[in-house]
Structure 1
Amino acid sequence: MRAAYEGRSASSRSKAVRSSSDCGSEELARARTSFLVDEPVAPGVVREPILASWTRSRHYDVDADRLELPYDSDISMDTVLTRAAGPIVREVADQLTSEPVSLILTDADGVVLDRRSGDGGLTHHLDRIWLAPGFSYAERYVGTNGIGTALEGRGPAQVFGHEHYAEHLEDLACAGAPIRHPVNGKVVGVVDLTCWRSDANMMMMAIASTVAKRIEETLLEQSGRRELALLHDYLIACQRGRGAVFALSDDLLMMNDRARELFDPADQGPLLAEAGEALKSGHRHQVLVDLPSGNTARIQLRPSWTEGDRTGGIAQVQLITNGAVPTPRVTGTTSALPAAVGSGALWTKCCQAVDRHFRSREWLVLEGEPGTGKTTIARATHQGRTPAAHLRVFDAEQLGPRWMAELTEELENGSGGTLVLEHIDRLDTEAVLALSDALEPHRESTDPERPWVVATVSTGSGDPGSGAGAAWRELLALFPSTVEVPPLRHHVEDVADLVPYLIARLTRGAELTCSPEAMRVLMRNRWPGNVEQLYQVLRKVVARRRTGVVTPADLPAETRAITRRVLTPLEAIECDAIVDALLDASGNKAEAARHLGMSRATIYRKIRGYGISMPTSG
């Protein structure tokens, strides 16, 4: 391969590879700028795969003028992929050591596992743009690039110069080839070659594809022994019993007919995730898993093979409800807690976990961003299980002379029920110590009338109990478990359930519905303020329309901005003003800029910064 790479003359190597759209030209740069400001892109200038990737990048809300990448400080270099790819990557890197190119290996999430280059200047530049081990170059973080676009398209991807979505990458050229596992066809990583745009070479894609093919051949050689052992154990498990049987590893999944009958896809995902994690212990054991459907599964696990942190094995599963074997379940996922609205997998799993702690009367901490519905879940669990029992909410933000005395009285009354302690992360050191003293005598009580105590803390307000030190740790020790409440953006599908529920609450049952067009606008948002922000938006809608159908025109201006954070009051005013100006100008940005007294460049920057989108239907 090195001979093929060196077979071109120096002048030929330095000539940039150009597509029919002349990738390094000013014309392509202008096309990219037009795309970023929602103007038409001239046909034939941008290659179709690149235009499709730009569209995905916009959908992911990637910042075009800055890089914001997640970093994994604990990447494992002892995996099936790295063991197969390591020797090959080292060999090819040695062959290319005199070339101005970097050879990169990533996993299936675009996280860089290995990067090798003999060019110091290129290496320094790649460090500056975080194209380095531990950082993910998936499209949802970086936009169009050889690694992320190969993963999204599940095929070879070449990206040159201004074809990159992020402007920090426009001086580079890259070619990425996906690595597919030979047993199941799943993409497990990418081989990428990156160089300066002026050094781009026609052989880059061929070399990347050849290296990927060699890694796939090595994976096939390594997989045979493990998969045969797993298949053997799976067949024996199926012959010995009539229950549900799964065989799983990182590369393979098998299930018998009974497993398909008992578990629909919505339940299979969480069940297999828990089973796969539990198998890593390398020992036979049993686990219980709460499923999104509301059922519970008892899983008997038996490893077939273990290599490093990789394991394959058999999971024999029994479906149980309150300890009894039920009849085969009916498909469909509805929340068992009617007041905690939502049926998405993450939300439902969270509700089921809280419900399980309630049934065992185990005190619990609910942790999540502000506005996610932590107290709502606690209330819903109480009302769903013991609607006639006593429930009391104590908000730490309202701490006063009577707060601790009333809490102590509730604990000592022995009337059972539920106590919710909101925002305990906002207590000062003295209050934290007093709360610990009040709770401690009741923590291990066997009194059946002992209340169930739930505390809520916010992940978005800094470290809980900051300044309390040991006192804070002592307080948390009273709560054996913590359940994380997911932010709304992680279960945005539940917006479709939340909107009619919240509208009904706000209108007290009046005939007001949300149109499909308005619902699409609401579901497109990231909701950094979570359910509370959605509630406040609908509150503004109901203030202006109490009956009929909500259309996009009825929605507040802020719903047109897809932001990643809660805006400051000043930013919110500015964002709303821009949206209103755009609506008045029928989407004409230049006209809106003139109306607001700002330059065209400034309004484009503001539109991108706030993530403002003007759908044609609205």
Structure 2
Amino acid sequence: MDTGCRDNADHSCSEKGNRLVHTNQRATHNKDREAAPRLPESVLGPSKTAAAERIAHARTNFLVDEPVEPGIVRAPILASWTRSRQYEVPADHLDLPFESDCDPDSPLTRAAKPIVREVSDQLAGEPVSVILCDDEGVVLERRTGDTALNQHLDRVWLAPGFSYAERYVGTNGIGTALEGRGPAQVFGHEHYVEHLEDLACAGAPIRHPVNGKLLGVIDLTCWRREANRMMMAAASTIARRIEETLLEQSGRRELALLHDYLAACQRNRGAVFALSEDLLMMNDRARELLDPGDQVPLLASAAEALATGRRRQLTVDLPSGAIARVQCRPSWTEGGLSGGVLQVQLVSGDAGPLRSAVLPHPSSLPATVGSGPLWAKCCQAVDRHFQSREWVVLEGEPGTGKRTLARATHQLRSPAAHLRVLDAGDYGPRWIAEVIEELETGAGGTLVLCHLDRLSAEGVQALGDALEPHRESTAPQRPWVVATADRSRAHASRELAELLDLFPRTVEVPPLRHHVEDVAELVPHLIARLTRGADLTCSPDAMRVLMRNRWPGNVEQLHQVLRKIVAKKRTGRITPADLPPECRAITRRVLTPLEAIECDAIVDALLDADGNKAEAARNLGMSRATIYRKIRGYGISMPTVAECGRSG
């Protein structure tokens, strides 16, 4: 176990701490020292050991849902602990995402790296690390002069490429500064994850000096025993120096963009945007004409066009159903970044200008349910490709409704025409012969090829040979061909990727968690199908539980859950007590069979104990700490007494 300077004599540690304070004092103005948040003596005073023990005890109480004694834990730390629990951060180990393609030449890194290098050189003899992170908490730069500290930071993955956002690590100087949008300091056992208790850190946010956008965090991390009151003031000073450099670097470009934007607003009474890496402006007409849901895809497409450095005109399909004609005029392009002005006009399907700023959502396709923007946009894209007879691949997670979407589009546009659905799971000589037969005699119908990612290498080759002669045919009776594939496996092999290249269009079918608002429409629709019209409805309380679920198995999982309910109850009103145990687990993934059994057992025990976790743990023969960890791990939503349908 690393001890660093903890193995040195106390006077040696004190001496190093004094040198760090002295260095920070030279770099900090008087107003910084006055503005720096004062830490209680219980954290940094003479009784640090006793205070640390009290905070460690309070943290343990918090983790097992025991009361935390007032005054022991600072309010910002307690708030961060609560967020960490809501994020389901494991308290006993680190599980961090790694970002391998961080931008090494962003405006933040260009402005910050020389300053980080200078500060780290000044602190070269001190056990302190200077860390630069982006707005997602991903470490971009880390400089440490102390070997023991450097090795310890590697062990806890506080290293370039790893994210220290609160949703992954819980309470820490980097993530808590990002969440709170202000300076944050975390010492020892105030960290949520137990492996960080030997460290102290102070983070200060870095904002764009023009638009105020949060760009990242500068953090100072040292051993807990080396912490002092000046860390926060020093971090804030470094952040301000970086912001001043950002202003010097961006001022010229932003002024050029502002000039072009004002000129465009004077010439044009329509919708005008100004867009760059760090800035977004729009006039009142743009705000009236485009709701936020439409702005996102429009600006994403425009940003790609501006990056070319040339004037371009785009046509963008919007989630609301409208089509936007966008004139992109770059103001500057430099170092892979760009900024420019967008002039936007909404047009209808026949290219005529839209007169109304309010754009209704299109009606749902037959046999599909949902009116959320993402689902509506997906349906519109598939329908558009059908009308142009363009072959299309529907990619998405299993259970998202890819086959249903293809069938519904066919039924909407050509209900009397021939429809054939072939599953690649049935591949064989006869299967390929049926594909060829449909391609040659489809008579203007639709051919749906499901689960192409399940084909063997031989099957991929055979299907490619069958499709190739027909893919560019202009025959009026050429069938419309739709392929479906699991997104995670669609490009797993070169052969399969080449097969999918025979389809000129690809549409991403969104997972249910991305349009969970459609659950409210899917539930009554699926219940009606399962009961064949019997009088069974879903109560608002049960619907809220269903809409909180992440549905990793998508619509198919929802269908199976409702099937279990209908098997036991065909009339009346579905209440939370009628929902199967898996509905209480708001997990991000599909559980293994063993995990599903364990999760169901815990939920059943909680229901039997009226939500009393200690009693449920005793009934299951597990410790209270274990059941708390399992509840958080599975994301189990605790039932209330009313939901359990019991009187006491």
What is the TM-score of this pair, normalised by structure 2? Answer: 0.87
Q: Which amino acid aligns with 1:351?
A: C
Corresponding residue for residue 22 of structure 2: 4
Q: Give the superposition deviation at 1:555.
A: 1.0
1:431 equivalent in alignment to 2:455:
no
User: What is the alpha-carbon distance in structure 2 between the residues aligned to residue 570 and residue 438 of structure 1?
Assistant: 43
Match of 1:169 in 2: 196
Equivalent-residue separation in structure 1 for 2:464 and 2:516 (angstroms): 37
Residue aligning to 1:240:
267
1:560 is aligned to: 584
Tell me whether 1:406 sits opposite 2:434 in the alignment. Answer: yes
Q: Which range is displaced more, 302-311 or 166-175? A: 166-175
What amino acid maps onto 1:112 in structure 2? V
Query: Which residue of 2 is the match for residue 506 of structure 1?
Result: 530
CA distance in 2, matches of 1:428, 1:295: 41
Correspondence for 2:554: 530
CA distance in 2, matches of 1:209, 1:142: 22
In 1, Cα distance between equivalents of 2:42 and 2:385? 62
**Does 2:505 match 1:481?**
yes
**Structure 2 contact 366–409 (Cα < 8 Å) conserved:** no
* Partner residue of 1:47 out of 74, 79, 84: 74
Amino acid at match of 1:398: D
Offset at residue 463 of structure 1 (A):
6.4
Q: Which amino acid aligns with 2:113?
A: G
Match of 1:448? 476
The answer to whether residue 339 in structure 2 is matched with residue 308 in structure 1 is no
Alpha carbons of structure 1 residues 127 and 338: separation in structure 2 relative to 1, 3 Å? farther
Which residue of the partner structure matches residue 518 of structure 1?
542
The RMSD of aligned alpha carbons is 2.7
Deviation at 1:354, TM superposition (A): 3.0
Aligned partner of 2:104 in structure 1 is: 77
CA contact (8 A) 1:350 1:484 kept: yes
Q: Aligned letter for 1:115?
A: R
Determine if contact 2:369/2:521 at 8 Å carries over to the other structure: yes
Say which of 390, 393, 397 aligns to 1:362.
390
- The equivalent residue for 2:206 is 179
Residue identity opposite 1:613 in structure 2: S
C-alpha distance in 2, partners of 1:142/1:463? 32
CA distance in 1, matches of 2:515, 2:177: 27
Shift of 1:541: 2.0
Equivalent positions of 1:86-235 (< 5 A) are 86-235=113-262
Structure 2 residue corresponding to 1:417, chosen from 423, 445, 460? 445
Q: Distance in 2 between matches of 1:60 and 1:494?
A: 24
Q: Does 1:30 align with 2:50?
A: no
The residue that corresponds to 2:602 in the other structure is 578
- Aligned match for 1:255, one of 282, 287, 304: 282
Paired letter, 1:417: G
Pair 509,56 (structure 1): closer, same or farther in 2 beyond 3 Å: farther
Please, which runs of 5 or more residues in structure 2 have no aligned partner?
1-18, 27-40, 644-648
Q: CA deviation at 1:16?
A: 9.1
Whether 1:63 aligns to 2:81 is no
Correspondent of 1:282 among 297, 309, 313: 309
Q: CA deviation at 1:232?
A: 1.5
User: CA distance change for structure 1 residues 93 and 359 in 2, over 3 Å: closer, same or farther?
Assistant: farther
Does residue 318 (structure 1) correspond to residue 336 (structure 2)? The answer is no
Distance 1:28 1:408 in 2: 72
Instruction: Describe the SS at the equivalent of 1:402.
Output: helix
Separation in 1, partners of 2:507, 2:540: 34
Task: Specify the code of the residue in structure 1 equivalent to 2:452.
Answer: I
Q: Are 2:409 and 1:381 aligned?
A: yes
Classify 1:210/1:278 alpha carbon distance in 2 versus 1 (closer, same or farther; 3 Å).
same
1:308 and 1:559 map into 2 onto residues whose CA distance is 49
Is the deviation greater in 283-292 or in 163-172? 163-172
1:59–1:349 distance in 2 versus 1, CA, 3 Å: farther
Distance (Å, rounded) in 2 between the aligned partners of 1:420 and 1:231:
51
CA shift at 1:74, angstroms? 1.5
Query: 1: distance between equivalents of 2:577 and 2:169?
Result: 33
Deviation at 1:596, TM superposition (A): 2.0
> Which residue is 1:294 aligned to?
321
CA-CA distance at 1:270 after TM superposition: 2.0
Q: CA deviation at 1:543?
A: 2.3
Offset of residue 291 of structure 1: 0.8
How far apart are 1:399 and its partner, in Å? Answer: 2.9
In structure 1, stretches of 5+ residues that fail to align are 9-14
Larger deviation, residues 425-434 vs 387-396: 387-396
Q: Is the 8 A contact 2:24 2:231 kept in 1?
A: no
Equivalent position to 1:393, from 400, 416, 421: 421
Kept in 2: contact 1:100–1:118 (CA 8 A): yes
Query: Does the CA contact (< 8 Å) of 2:585 and 2:634 recur in 1?
Result: yes
Matched letter for residue 154 of structure 1: R
Work out which of the two has the higher radius of gyration on C-alpha atoms and give 1 or 2.
2
The TM-score, its normalising length taken from structure 1, stands at: 0.91
Range that drifts further, 218-227 or 353-362: 353-362
* CA deviation string 1:382-436 (max 9, x = no partner): 3344344332221112335532222221111142232211111111122222211
Query: Aligned partners of 1:74, 1:138: CA distance in 2, in Å?
Result: 17
CA displacement 1:241-294 (0-9 Å, x = unmatched): 332211111222222233223212221222122212321122111222111101
Cα offsets for 1:110-146 (capped at 9, x unmatched): 1211111111222222222222112222222222221
Compared CA separation, residues 233 and 610, structure 1 to 2 (3 A):
same
1:603 pairs with 585, 605, 627, which one? 627
Q: What is the alpha-carbon distance in structure 2 between the residues aligned to residue 141 and residue 112 of structure 1? A: 13
1:591 pairs with 2:615: yes
Amino acid at match of 1:87: P
Distance 1:304 1:507 in 2: 61
The answer on whether the counterparts of 1:173 and 1:195 sit within 8 Å (CA) in structure 2 is yes
Tell me the SS of whatever aligns to 1:394. Answer: strand
Question: Which residue pairs with 1:11 in the alignment?
Answer: none
SS in 2 for 1:189: strand
Deviates more, 1:355-364 or 1:530-539: 355-364
After alignment, is 55-64 or 447-456 more displaced? Answer: 55-64
- 1:178 CA drift (Å): 0.8
8 A contact 1:424–1:457 mirrored in 2: yes
Q: Does structure 2 retain, via aligned residues, the 8 Å contact 1:17–1:200? A: no
CA deviation map 1:174-203 (0-9, x unaligned): 111111112111111111111222222211
1:207-243 CA-partner distances (Å, limit 9, x unpaired): 1111111111222222321122112211222233332
SS at match of 1:549: strand
Please report how far the alpha carbon of residue 447 of structure 1 lies from its aligned counterpart in structure 2 after TM superposition.
1.4
CA contact (8 A) 2:21 2:230 kept: no
Q: Which amino acid aligns with 1:532?
A: E
Query: What is the identity, as a one-letter code, of the residue corresponding to 2:462?
Result: A
Q: In the alignment, is the contact (CA less than 8 A) between 1:16 and 1:199 conserved in 2?
A: no
User: Is residue 177–residue 205 contact of structure 1 (8 Å, CA) maintained in 2?
Assistant: yes
Give the match's secondary structure for 1:562: coil
